[in-house]
Chains A and B, each alone.
Chain A
Amino acid sequence: MSTTPMSAEPAAAYRDDKRHWWWLPLFVALSPVLGVYLAATTGQKLWLWITPILWYVALPVADWLVGRDTRNPPDAAVPSLESDRYYKFLVYASIPLFYVTWIVGAWAVATQDYGWAGYLGVSLSVALTNGLALVVGHEVGHKTGRFEKRLAQIVLAVPAYGHFSAEHNRGHHKDVATPDDPASSRFGESLYAFVLREIPGALGRAWRDEKVRLARSGKGPWSLSNELLQSFAITAVLYGSALALLGPVIIPFLLISTFWGWQFLSTSNYIEHYGLLRQKLPDGRFERCRPEHSWNADHIVSNLMLYHLQRHSDHHARPTRCYQALRSDKAPELPSGYPLCFTLTYFPPLWRAVMDKRVLAVYGGDITRVNIQPSKREQILARYGAGRQTATGV
Chain B
Amino acid sequence: MARYRCPGCGYEYDEQKGDEHEGFKPGTLWSEVPEDWACADCAVRDKADFVKVDGLLA
Name A's B-contacting residues (CB within 8 A): 144, 146, 169-170, 173-174, 213-217, 285, 288-289, 316-320
Count of chain B residues with a beta carbon within 8 Å of a chain A beta carbon: 15
CB-based contact B38/A170 at 8 Å: yes
Chain B 7-50, CB-CB to A under 8 Å as 1, else 0, gives: 01101000000001111100000000000001001111110000
- Decide: A216 near B42, CB < 8 A? Known: A318-B8, A320-B9: no
CB-based contact A320/B41 at 8 Å: yes
CB distance from A375 to the nearest CB of B (A): 29
A217, B43: Cα distance in complex, Å: 20
Name B's A-contacting residues (CB within 8 A): 8-9, 11, 20-24, 38, 41-46
CB neighbours of B20 from chain A (8 A)? 217
CB-based contact A319/B22 at 8 Å: no
CB-based contact B23/A319 at 8 Å: no
CB neighbours of B42 from chain A (8 A)? 173, 318-320
CB-based contact B38/A174 at 8 Å: yes
CB distance from A143 to the nearest CB of B (A): 9
A146, B8: Cα distance in complex, Å: 20
CB neighbours of A319 from chain B (8 A)? 9, 41-44
CB neighbours of B43 from chain A (8 A)? 169-170, 173-174, 319
CB neighbours of A213 from chain B (8 A)? 21-23
A215, B37: Cα distance in complex, Å: 14
A217, B38: Cα distance in complex, Å: 17
Which 3 pairs from chain A and chain B are nearest by CB? A216-B23, A217-B23, A173-B43
CB distance from B48 to the nearest CB of A (A): 8
CB neighbours of B38 from chain A (8 A)? 170, 174
CB neighbours of B23 from chain A (8 A)? 213-217
CB distance from A372 to the nearest CB of B (A): 25
CB neighbours of A173 from chain B (8 A)? 42-44
CB-based contact B44/A288 at 8 Å: yes
CB < 8 Å neighbour of B44 from A146, A214, A316: A316
Of B11, B41, B45, B46, the most chain A CB neighbours within 10 A belong to B41
CB-based contact A289/B44 at 8 Å: yes
CB distance from A169 to the nearest CB of B (A): 6
Of A215, A217, A320, the most chain B CB neighbours within 10 A belong to A320
Other than the given A144-B41, A174-B38, A319-B42, 17 more pairs (CB < 8 A) read A144-B11, A146-B21, A170-B38, A173-B42, A173-B44, A174-B43, A213-B21, A213-B22, A213-B23, A214-B23, A216-B23, A289-B44, A316-B44, A317-B44, A318-B9, A319-B9, A320-B41
A320, B41: Cα distance in complex, Å: 7
CB neighbours of B41 from chain A (8 A)? 144, 319-320
A109, B46: Cα distance in complex, Å: 48
A314, B42: Cα distance in complex, Å: 13
A170, B34: Cα distance in complex, Å: 14
A317, B45: Cα distance in complex, Å: 10
CB neighbours of A216 from chain B (8 A)? 22-24
CB distance from B35 to the nearest CB of A (A): 11
CB distance from B38 to the nearest CB of A (A): 5
CB distance from B26 to the nearest CB of A (A): 12
CB neighbours of B24 from chain A (8 A)? 216
CB neighbours of A146 from chain B (8 A)? 21
CB distance from B50 to the nearest CB of A (A): 14
A144, B12: Cα distance in complex, Å: 12
A213 (CB) vs chain B CBs: closest residue:
B23
Can you list 25 A-B pairs with a CB-CB distance of less than 8 A? Answer: A144-B41, A146-B21, A170-B38, A170-B43, A173-B42, A174-B38, A174-B43, A213-B21, A213-B23, A214-B23, A216-B22, A216-B23, A216-B24, A217-B23, A288-B44, A289-B44, A316-B44, A317-B44, A318-B8, A318-B42, A319-B9, A319-B41, A319-B43, A319-B44, A320-B41
